[in-house]
Every structure is written in structure tokens, then in C-alpha cells.
């Protein structure tokens, strides 16, 4: 069963009747938007798996799917990096109680067994997440901010130029505008400070030194860098995106002969000034360690969103230290 992504964005409830659902495509930002919507909607125990670990040990997934908790707690399961290998495991999940399973895959061609199965199924569902372009992103901004005075073509271009064609980043910036300009009037002179466009350099430097395994620089930057609590999810997204990009290249090339080309092919693209650190990190990290980072980010994000009283600053700095230690392990 095929669902149009733009309809799901308007009403995510459409897919909740599907036993298992597949999101596929190169639009990582859109898949992230769906993932966030599902987390917010489900309000249940949320688990993250990678296909590779499930293929090696199916019981990891099967135990969670078929073993009920003592309190009949509902579960939402996300499976990352799905492809045809997982089809034999999930195709029999026709009737599940208190479990929702969502698969996330990169682009799947028309010959993909996984894609074909989900498209033809009357029980399972799928939605392709095709890449955005300047036209689709412009339409999103115009639609979301249509009630606001002062939304000029120049402001729209400014937002696009500074956030790229990343759907998730755009949605987050739109939310900031909606919250800040509650009088429905956008003031162009206040956008710079509000959106912090280009002002994440301090955290990016901290993130890169940690991923590069530079302990001395990381420790110094942790002391010098001010991490704002309200930006915790933003910081986590930066780490998450870098780990995903590194993992994508490492999975796609057993022997990295043309690093530059592989980096240039990433979507959303890596900024030119970030490439030297990116290359260092490709040599420093392997798939197992990157998956460890993604799990830590996922767990911390859940903690932050479900417990407003925790000390976000300390937890973020602990994560940075963990990343630096892991880089050198």
C-alpha cells in the first residue's frame, strides 16, 4: 500500500493502521520529520535497531515483537538502514499487538523486493521520500508561514540559502519563527539572531574535535563553549547527521578509493570547509562505532524530550566526551 508523503505530513495518523511501515528514499530530512512525528504521536516505549544487527541475530527483534511487557506497554520500533535482507524477517508480521514497526531505507529501485512487497501489501504500507529542491522547499515555507506579514521572497531565499535543502532543518527554523513572531509579523532585522544561521561554529568545532579524537582540544573547548539548553536537540541533530553521513560512505565503499567524489555525492551536501575534518573522521571511525554514537544520540534525545528537569548541559558535554573516547578506542 503506497502513501503519498505530502499527505502523511498533513496527517500522520493515516499510517497507524499499518502493521509495519517503510519509508525509503534519499530525502533524509523528510524521513527525520516523519520519525519525529511518530515519536511524538506514539508516546510509547521507543526502540532503535539497525538492520545489520537484526540479520545477525533475529532474536533481538523477535523478542521485542512477541514478548509482552509486564504492564502490556506498547512499543514503537525503528529499524534503520533497511534493504531486501530484512524482508524475510518482517513479511510475516501480519498481526501484531501493541507493537508498531517503522523501517527506514535509502533509495530503493523498482526491482527491490522490499519495496515491491510493501507497495503490493494490503496490510503493510510504504511512502517514498524523494529529494526536495528549491521549488518544493519554497512552497513549504510559503505554506507554513502564509499567515505572516513581511514574508518576502528575499527572506525565503535567505532561509533556504543558510539551511540548505534539508527538510528537517527548514521545519525547525519555521517553528522558531512561528514561536518568536507571535504577532504574525516577521521582522527581517531579527532573523539572524533568531535562526542562529551560521552561528553554530563553536559547537561544530567542538563536535569535530571530539570526532577527530583530539582529547586536549575537546577538553578545552568543553570548558570554553557555552551550550544552551534550548538548543540541545539542535546539537544532537548536528552529531546525528554527521554520523549518518560517515556511515553512509563507509557502508557504500568497502575500499574508499575516491573519497572526494563520495563526499560530494552526499545529500544534503557537506560544506566545503567541513571536508578536511570529514576525511579525518572517515579514517578514524568504523560502522560499529558510528552506530554506537547514533544509539547514544537517540537515547539522549528521548531523555531530553521526556524529562524537562534533567541537566541538558551536563548530558551534552558527557556525550561529547564519550564520542572523543570512542574515537580513540
DSSP E strands, 32-138? 45-50, 75-80, 99-105, 125-128
Give the whole-angstrom CA distance, residue 171 versus residue 168: 5
What is the pTM (predicted TM-score) of this model?
Answer: 0.67
Verify that 12 and 121 share a domain, yes or no.
Answer: yes
Q: Tell me if residue 185 falls in helix, strand or coil.
A: strand
Question: What is the residue whose three cell numbers read 496527517?
Answer: 11
Verify that 99 and 38 share a domain, yes or no.
Answer: yes
User: Can you give the pLDDT of all 329 residues of the chain as single tens digits?
Assistant: 999 988 888 888 877 778 899 999 988 889 988 988 888 777 777 899 999 999 999 999 998 888 876 666 788 899 999 999 999 999 888 878 888 999 999 999 999 999 999 999 988 999 999 988 888 888 989 988 988 888 888 888 778 766 767 888 888 888 888 888 877 888 877 776 677 654 466 888 899 999 999 999 999 988 888 787 877 888 888 898 899 889 888 887 655 557 777 777 776 667 777 888 999 999 999 999 999 999 999 999 888 888 878 888 889 999 999 999 999 98
- Return the pLDDT at 166: 80
Last residue of a domain, one of 128, 155, 184: 128
Supply the range of the domain harboring residue 146.
134-195
- Return the pLDDT at 198: 47
214-216-218 Cα angle (round to 5)? 65
DSSP secondary-structure letter at 223?
Answer: H
Last residue of a domain, one of 110, 128, 146: 128
Q: Return the closest-CA partner of residue 241 out of 213, 214, 203.
A: 203
Q: Tell me if residue 35 falls in helix, strand or coil.
A: helix
Verify that 66 and 168 share a domain, yes or no.
Answer: no
Verify that 50 and 152 share a domain, yes or no.
Answer: no
Verify that 122 and 142 share a domain, yes or no.
Answer: no
226 burial level (CB within 10 Å; 0-12, 13-18, 19+): exposed
Q: What is the dihedral of CA 144, 148, 153, 155, to 10 degrees?
A: -90
Q: What CATH number has the domain bearing residue 90?
A: 3.40.50.300
Verify that 15 and 94 share a domain, yes or no.
Answer: yes
- Return the pLDDT at 284: 92
Verify that 186 and 210 share a domain, yes or no.
Answer: no
Verify that 114 and 12 share a domain, yes or no.
Answer: yes
> Per residue in 85-106, pLDDT tens?
999 999 888 878 888 999 999 9
Give the whole-angstrom CA distance, residue 248 versus residue 259: 12
Verify that 24 and 123 share a domain, yes or no.
Answer: yes
Query: Looking at the 3D structure of the chain, how many domains does it have?
Result: 3
Verify that 90 and 149 share a domain, yes or no.
Answer: no
- Return the pLDDT at 12: 84
Q: Are 238 and 32 in contact (CB under 8 A)?
A: no
Q: Considering just the CA atoms, what is the radius of gyration of the chain in Å?
A: 20
> Per residue in 153-191, pLDDT tens?
888 877 876 676 788 888 888 888 888 887 788 887 777
Q: Are 126 and 21 in contact (CB under 8 A)?
A: yes
Verify that 255 and 239 share a domain, yes or no.
Answer: yes
Verify that 77 and 174 share a domain, yes or no.
Answer: no
Last residue of a domain, one of 149, 171, 195: 195
Q: What CATH number has the domain bearing residue 316?
A: 1.20.272.10
Amino acid at each position: 500500500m503506497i502513501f503519498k508523503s505530502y499527505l502523511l505530513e498533513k496527517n500522520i495518523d493515516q499510517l497507524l493502521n499499518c502493521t509495519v511501515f517503510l519509508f525509503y528514499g534519499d530525502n533524509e530530512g523528510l524521513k527525520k520529520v516523519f520519525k519525529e512525528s511518530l515519536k511524538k504521536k506514539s508516546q510509547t516505549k521507543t526502540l532503535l535497531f539497525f538492520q545489520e544487527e537484526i540479520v545477525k541475530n533475529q532474536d533481538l527483534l523477535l523478542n521485542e515483537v512477541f514478548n509482552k511487557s509486564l504492564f502490556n506497554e506498547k512499543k514503537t520500533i525503528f529499524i534503520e538502514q533497511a534493504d531486501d535482507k530484512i524482508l524475510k524477517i518482517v513479511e510475516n508480521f501480519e498481526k501484531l499487538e501493541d507493537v508498531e514497526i517503522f523501517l527506514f531505507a535509502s533509495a530503493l529501485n523498482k526491482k527491490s523486493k522490499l519495496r515491491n512487497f510493501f507497495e503490493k501489501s494490503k496490510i503493510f504500507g510504504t511512502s517514498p521520500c524523494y529529494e526536495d529542491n528549491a521549488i518544493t522547499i519554497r512552497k513549504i515555507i510559503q505554506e507554513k508561514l502564509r499567515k505572516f506579514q513581511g514574508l518576502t521572497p528575499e527572506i525565503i531565499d535567505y532561509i533556504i540559502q543558510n539551511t540548505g535543502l534539508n527538510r528537517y532543518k527548514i521545519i525547525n527554523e519555521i517553528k522558531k519563527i512561528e514561536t518568536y513572531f507571535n504577532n504574525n509579523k516577521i521582522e527581517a532585522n531579527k532573523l539572524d539572531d533568531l535562526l542562529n544561521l551560521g552561528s553554530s561554529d563553536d559547537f561544530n568545532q567542538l563536535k569535530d574535535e571530539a570526532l577527530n579524537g583530539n582529547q586536549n582540544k575537546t577538553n578545552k573547548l568543553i570548558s570554553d563553549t557555552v551550550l544552551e539548553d534550548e538548543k540541545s536537540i539542535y546539537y544532537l541533530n548536528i552529531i546525528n547527521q554527521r554520523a549518518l553521513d560517515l556511515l553512509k560512505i563507509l557502508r557504500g565503499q568497502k575500499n574508499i578509493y575516491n573519497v572526494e567524489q563520495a563526499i560530494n555525492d552526499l545529500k544534503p551536501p557537506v560544506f566545503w570547509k567541513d571536508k578536511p575534518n570529514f576525511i579525518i573522521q572517515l579514517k578514524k571511525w568504523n560502522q560499529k562505532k558510528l552506530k554506537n554514537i547514533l544509539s547514544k544520540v537517540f537515547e539522549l534525545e528521548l531523555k531530553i524530550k521526556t524529562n524537562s528537569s534533567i541537566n541538558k548541559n551536563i548530558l551534552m558535554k558527557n556525550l561529547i566526551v564519550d564520542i572523543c573516547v570512542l574515537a580513540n578506542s
